[in-house]
Structures are given as structure tokens and as C-alpha cells.
Amino acid sequence: MTEPRYPLDGAMPAMLRSGKRLRGVFNGLPSPAIVEMCGYAGFDFIIIDNEHGSADFGTTEHMLRAARASGIVPVVRCFERDIPRILDMGASAVQVPMVETADQAQRLVDMVRYPPLGKRGSAFSTRAAGYGAFGGAGHTQRSNDGISLIVMIETPEAIARASEIAAVEGVDAVFIGPNDLAHAMGHGSDWNAPPVQAAIAQGLAAIVGAGKCAGIIALTPQDEDKYGALGACYFANVTTSVITKALAQAASAGRDATLRY
């Protein structure tokens, strides 16, 4: 009998501990096809964006199925209140926005881990447990071993506490949200403003110093190299940015060429 293919992909914790550069994308489009395309394109992970995206829970579950089928590790960015349902759907990781204290990070750890590591409620009738086919102690262990918690720090207060947030046992990675950080610092959307970049560098150093994987948005290879030199290894682009740029290039190609008959 062959080894069962569990609905839950447990590769993320080891990936985050590897120190290797990981490249993924935020996706707010409610489309399993986009998830598959990102998998086939070779991205390491996809962040299904339930903070700013429009997918409902049913579509989110289909997107998680698409991720499993195409071999890409699915992370779901979601609000704290949605963590139990997202994990029961089979997410490999949750990425939670606007974490500002170690106490808040600890509360999230408790929601993600089953006892004795946390306080997650147990149910084996869910997709994550194969609708009961892979439930029981095995599912509990696979979940505690294989699900990652990624917290986002997006304010000056959170940057100042980055070391203690990252040091919370059970937090696997800390992701700096540069756009919200820039807004919170009074620089609008200009996250390249020198004070914002200094805060990002401070946050990345604190996260790495605490022994955790540091993440950030990287829209270009130059961004990835810049932040990689500061210790980041979990990089995310944005599907809508990539698609819109490609469509604009296709729409303008040859437009200025002189027609000859």
C-alpha cells in the first residue's frame, strides 16, 4: 500500500528554517487557476490573501486544493478570528497582519498549535484531516509539526518590539509590511523614504537576531537582493502587479511601430 497523500502539505517549517531564499506571491484574486499557474511557474509558496482579497471560504478551500495539486505551498493571510477555519481547510501556514506585541504573538501561537503546544480546538471531519480519513493523533502531530505561523509587523511600535515578537516560541517567521509601515510613519505609500528603509533594516536585523526567518515584499530582483543582504529570506511579489505589468507590455507592444503597406 502506498503512503497516503495527506491534504496538509507540511513542508513550510523546514523551508523557513533552511535559510534559503524563498520566493512567493500574494494573491487576492479568487481563482484556483491562478494558484495552479503560480505553482507550475515554480514559485515556492503562494499567499492567499484573505485580508485584502475577495475570496470567500468556499473559494479559499478550492484554492488550497489547487495549491496541493500543483505542488505549491499555500499560506493564507487572514484575520485572527478566521484562523480556526482556515487551518481546518488545510492551509500550510497562516500569515496574520498587524501584530504589535509578544503577547499577541503568543495568543496566535495558541490558536495554531494543538495541545500541549497550544489551545487549538480539535476536529477530524475537516479537509485538513482528510474528512476523518487521516484524523486522530496522527493529524494532531502532523499539524503541530507541519503548520507555520507567520506574523506581520507593520507599525513603528511593532518594529521596536520585533526582537521580542520574533522570539516567541511557535512563531516561525516575521514579515515586515512596508506599505502599512510607511503609512504609519507618515510617508504615505513611499516605503523607499529613508526613515522607512531604516526602520525596515532595524526590523530585519531584530528578526534575524532572534533566530527567525525574516520576510518582506520584493517587487523586483533588486529589492530581493537589497533585503536579502539585510537578512531577509522570505520574499513575496503580488500576482496582480505581475499580471498587470505583463498585460500592459502586451497591450503596448508594437503600438508605436509605423505601418507599412
Partners of 93 in beta bridges:
75, 148
Residue 79 makes CB contacts below 8 A (sequence gap 6+) with 50, 51, 96, 97
What pLDDT does residue 1 have?
54
Measured distance CA(254)–CA(116) in Å, rounded: 62
Which domains are assigned to the chain?
12-246 (3.20.20.60)
Establish whether 52 is a catalytic residue. yes
Q: 154 and 184 in contact (C-beta within 8 Å)?
A: yes
Q: Provide the pLDDT for residue 4.
A: 76
Cα(218)–Cα(147) distance, rounded to whole angstroms?
Answer: 24
Q: Are 68 and 50 in contact (CB under 8 A)?
A: no
For the chain, the straight-line distance linking the first and the last C-alpha, in angstroms and rounded, comes to 68
For the full predicted model, state whether its pTM sits above 0.75: yes
User: 213, 223 in Cβ contact below 8 A?
Assistant: no
For 29-88, the DSSP string reads S--HHHHHHHHHHT-SEEEEETTTS---HHHHHHHHHHHHHHT-EEEEE--GGGHHHHHH
Per-residue confidence (pLDDT) for residue 261, from 0 to 100: 45
Rounded distance, CA 104 to CA 112, Å? 13
pLDDT at 52: 98
* Active-site residue, selected from the candidate residues 52, 62, 139, 183: 52
245 to 16, 252, 253: CA distances (angstroms): 29, 11, 12
pLDDT in tens, the chain (261 residues): 566 789 999 999 999 999 999 999 999 999 999 999 999 999 999 999 999 999 999 999 999 999 999 999 999 999 999 999 999 999 999 999 999 999 999 999 999 999 999 999 999 999 999 999 999 999 999 999 999 999 999 999 999 999 999 999 999 999 999 999 999 999 999 999 999 999 999 999 999 999 999 999 999 999 999 999 999 999 999 999 999 999 999 999 866 655 454
